[in-house]
Amino acid sequence: MSRVIVTGRVPEEAVRRLEAEHDVDAWTGRDPMGREELLQRVAGVDAVLSLLTERIDEELLEAAGPQLKVVANAAVGYDNVDVPACAARGVVATNTPGVLTAATADLALSLILMTTRRLGEGERIIRSGQPWKWGMMFLLGSGLQGKTLGVVGMGGIGQATARRARAFGMDVVYHSRSEIDPQTAEELEARRLGLDELLASADVVSLHCPYGPETQHLMGAEQFAAMKPSAYLVNTARGPVVDEQALVAALEEGQIAGAGLDVYEHEPEVHPGLLERDDVVLLPHLGSATLETRTAMATLAAENVLAVLRGEQPPTPIRQR
């Protein structure tokens, strides 16, 4: 039996699978385990099943000790994990790609609809108790039909978002490290563009790239200035891909029409300049938040742990490019 720590609350099924083979310390608190607590409890474990709220860095790996074999992050994004530091210690690092693609794309589409149709604003009017009535010119948004979606980061989630947008009558352009496979490009009638060209032509820019040094503030003052004044920004990727201060300035100056955000540069803090704006929709990082998806993510992370502890290849190791 090996020792496994699960650093935050996850669906029961994942814990049960781990408990069938190992000694499991699963955190059940409503809030994530504090850093100090984590550094203490991680000592001597063979496996860490981590959530994106935990920083898995040199300090934590050191606190765990040399017997640590695997860090299984229950998320597709792994910017919270120092993967080279894991590799240097012979610790396998894994993530959970694929299982959250549909849920996250659904949420991106929700934000596209919420921003372009001003749904948050409408709901706030009703809840405020202020009088309202139907009016031909009341709370007009903009339609998606015939508009262009610009997908930045055309991996699985970007493609799934593009597919949904096509069903709403949008055209698709994308910016990505590599060309997508020809069959998908044909199905989506999607053209690959440079970022500047994409920003100049998109009516909605949706971010789906991983976060790292290359994508830090990918969307800054220059990029907002390059967008159409009628265009919207949607971010379901990671907060620091967007320079929030520059976003607030761009909104104030009318350089773009609005934004829909699920993630924040200094999460869970939200820039005060965003909080007061009606042309911004703000969600609390709900991209993969369905019971089905979170169960699939946690059980995939558990399968990664179990495989490594059995001396097998894990299903979804992180392959850094």
Q: Which residues are catalytic?
A: 238, 267, 285
Q: How far apart are CA 84 and CA 104, in angstroms?
A: 27
C-alpha radius of gyration, the chain, whole number: 21
Nearest one of 145, 152, 148, 158 to 184, comparing CA atoms: 158
Tokens of 159: 């493609």
Report the residue number, 55 or 89, with the smaller CB distance to ligand GLV: 55
75 part of the interface to ligand GLV, by CB under 6 A:
yes
Nearest approach, Cβ of 242 to ligand GLV (angstroms)? Answer: 15
Q: How far is CA 71 from the centre of its chain?
A: 19
Count Cα neighbours of 1 within 13 Å in the Cβ-side half-sphere: 10
Q: Which of 76, 114, 219, 281 binds ligand GLV (CB under 6 A)?
A: 76
The number of residues that bind ligand GLV (CB under 6 A) is 7
Report the residue number, 33 or 76, with the smaller CB distance to ligand GLV: 76
Q: 220: Cβ–Cβ under 8 A, 6 or more apart, which residues?
A: 243, 246
287 part of the interface to ligand GLV, by CB under 6 A:
yes
Residue type, 133: K
The one segment of 2-10, 72-80, 197-205, 301-309 that binds ligand GLV by CB under 6 A: 72-80
Q: Which of 115, 161, 235, 288 binds ligand GLV (CB under 6 A)?
A: 288
Tokens of 133: 């009535």
60 part of the interface to ligand GLV, by CB under 6 A:
no
Q: 219: Cβ–Cβ under 8 A, 6 or more apart, which residues?
A: 205, 207, 233, 235, 241, 242, 243, 246, 247
52 part of the interface to ligand GLV, by CB under 6 A:
yes
Report the residue number, 46 or 262, with the smaller CB distance to ligand GLV: 262
77 part of the interface to ligand GLV, by CB under 6 A:
yes
Nearest approach, Cβ of 76 to ligand GLV (angstroms)? Answer: 4
The one segment of 40-48, 71-79, 168-176, 184-192 that binds ligand GLV by CB under 6 A: 71-79
100 part of the interface to ligand GLV, by CB under 6 A:
yes
First to last CA, the chain: 34
Q: Which residues bind ligand GLV (CB under 6 A)?
A: 52, 75-77, 100, 287-288
